[in-house]
Amino acid sequence: MDRIRIIGGRPLNGTIQISGAKNAALPLMIASLLTDQMLVLENVPRLADVAQLQRILNNHGVDVMVGGKRPGESTYDGQTLLLSAARIVDTTAPYELVSRMRASFWVLAPLLARMGEAKVSLPGGCAIGTRPVDLLLMAMERLGAEIEIDGGYVVARAPNGLRGGEIVFPKVTVGGTHVALMAAALAQGATVIENAAREPEIVDLADCLNKMGAKIEGAGSARITVEGVSRLNGARHRVVADRIETGTYAMAVAMTGGDVTLQGAQAGLLQSALDVIGQTGADVTATNEGIRVARNGGGIRPVEVTTDPFPGFPTDLQAQLMALVSRASGISKITESIFENRFMHVQELARLGARISLDGDTATIEGVSRLKGAPVMATDLRASVSLVIAALAAEGETMVNRVYHLDRGFERLEDKLTACGASVERLSG
Ligand code: EPZ
C-alpha cells in the first residue's frame, strides 16, 4: 500500500490548477444511463472513484471511452469521457461493486426510470456514519416505484413507468436530490421536489440533464420542478470546478503561509468556507483566473463554525478546517451537523500534537504553537487530506498511511503541492 512522506514547515507559493468536482462527475456519469445516445463529459478528474464507477457502469452495459487530448488543452485539463448506454444489459448492481462506493447506489434511479426495474445492493456502513438510503427510496416511491428489500438488495419496479409526484424531503439530502432529478426527468408528468439540496453539484447535474432534453427549473433553490419527458438525448457537458479541492488547498495555504492562486476555482461555489478562511487571518481574493489565497506573517485566528448544507460551511471541509485551527492562537469550536461520527481525524491530528476534545457533535480545538510530524493513518478521504495539510505545517517528517483514500478524491495531490514548494513524496508498496 502506498504511503506519502511529507517534510513540513515550508510555505506554499505558486499556482494550483483546480480539477473537475468528483461529486459532480459521479452523478453526471450515472446520468449516462438515462439515454441511448452518447454523453460526453469534459474535465472529469482522474480519480480512483471515477475509475471504479466506470467499472460499475460497464457492468450495466455502458461503453466508456476516454477521449484524446485536443489542441490547446493544457496537460492539467481533466479527461474527457464518452459514455454510451445504447443498450442496458443488466439492471442489477451487485454488492461487491456498490459496497466499494456509496454513490454507485444512485444507479437505481436511471435504471428504474429507463428500464422500469432495478436491483441494487444496499451500500452498507461507511467510515463517516450510518448514512441510510431511506429518503432515496421514499423519493422513488413518490414517483410510483414499488420497492422491496430482498437479500440485502433494493428491488424496485415500475412496470408502467414512473409518474411525476410531490417529493418533500424531511432533511436535505444531496444523493436524494440527485436520484429524484434523474428519475423525475423521465417520469410521466410533473414532479415537485421540496427542501431540495442546493449544492453546486445538483445545479451541475440539472444543467447537464437540461442539455439532454430534460425540463428542470429551480435547481440551486430549495424547490425544483421537473416536467417529465419521454426520452433524453446525448449532450456535451463540462464538469464544474471542485469546491472541496479548492477549499482544501486554500486552507493549506492559510495554514503554511505563502501565496497561491487556485486556477479555475470559483468563489461563488464556496463563499461560506472562504469567509471562514478569511476570519482565520488569510487574505482571500477572487481574481479573473480563480482565487488567490495568501497569509504572510500574521498568526492564525480561532473560529466557531457549524457545518450545514449548501450554502453553509460544507461537512467535506470540516476536517481540513480542524487541521487549520489546530495552530490558531486561541480556542475554536467546530460542530458537525451533517454526519454523526465524522471525527475520525481527531485522534490522528492529536498524534501531530493538536489539542482537541470532543463532546457529542462538537469539537473544541485549543490552538498550539507548533505541530510535530508523526506516522498517521486515516479512515476517509477528507480526514486523510486534513492530515496532509497539518503535516505541511508540522515540523519534521509525517508519514501518511493508507493513501488510497486520497487517490479516491484528490487528483495529482503530490504534484500540485510539490509545484508550490512543498516536500511531498509518494512511496510505493
Ligand atoms: C454527498 O453524500 C457527498 N457525496 C458527500 O461527500 C457529502 O459529504 C454529502 O453529500 C453532504 O454534503 C457525493 O456527492 C458522492 P446526503 P450523500 O444524502 O449524498 C442523511 C466526500 O467526502 N440521509 O446529503 O450520501 C445522511 O445520513 C463525500 O466526497 C438520510 O438520513 O449525503 C446525512 O446525515 C462524503 N437518509 C444527511 O442526510 C437518506 O436516505 C445528508 O446526507 C439519505 C441521507
Q: For residue 223, how many other CB atoms are within 10 A of its CB?
A: 12
* Phi, psi angle pair for 17, to nearest 5°: -80, 125
Cis check for the bond before 159: say yes or no (omega within 30 of 0).
Answer: no
Q: Is 208 considered catalytic here?
A: no
State the closest ligand 1 atom to the C-alpha of 309, by its place in the atom list counted from 1: 12
45 neighbors 22 (Cβ within 8 angstroms):
yes
128 neighbors 380 (Cβ within 8 angstroms):
yes
Nearest residue (CA) to ligand 1, atom 42:
173
Q: Are strands 258-263 and 12-17 parallel, antiparallel or unpaired?
A: parallel
**Side chain identity at 274, as an amino acid letter?**
L
Q: Is 7 helix (H, G, I), strand (E, B) or coil?
A: strand
Q: Which mean pLDDT values do the consecutive 10-residue runs of the chain (429 residues) have? A: 94 97 98 98 95 96 85 70 97 93 96 98 74 94 97 95 98 98 98 98 98 98 98 98 98 98 98 98 97 93 98 98 98 96 94 97 97 92 96 97 90 96 93
Residues flanking ligand 1, CB < 6 Å = 23, 26, 102-103, 131-136, 171, 173-176, 315-316, 338-339, 381-382, 409
Q: Is 26 helix (H, G, I), strand (E, B) or coil?
A: helix
Q: Which residue out of 29, 131, 179, 270 has the highest number of ligand 1 atoms within 8 Å of its CB and is therefore the one to mutate?
A: 131
Quote the ligand 1 centre to 216 CA distance (angstroms). 22
The half-sphere exposure of 144 on its side-chain side, counting CA atoms within 13 A, is 20
Distance CA 249, CA 261 (A): 10
- Looking at 7, 38, 126, 138, which residue is catalytic? 126
H or E segment to which residue 47 belongs: none
pLDDT number for residue 127: 67
Grid cell of 400 as nine digits: 501518511
H or E segment to which residue 372 belongs: none
pLDDT number for residue 368: 98
Quote the ligand 1 centre to 338 CA distance (angstroms). 8
* Phi, psi angle pair for 76, to nearest 5°: -85, -5
Quote the ligand 1 centre to 195 CA distance (angstroms). 15
The answer to whether the predicted template modeling score (pTM) of the entire model surpasses 0.85 is: yes
pLDDT number for residue 73: 59
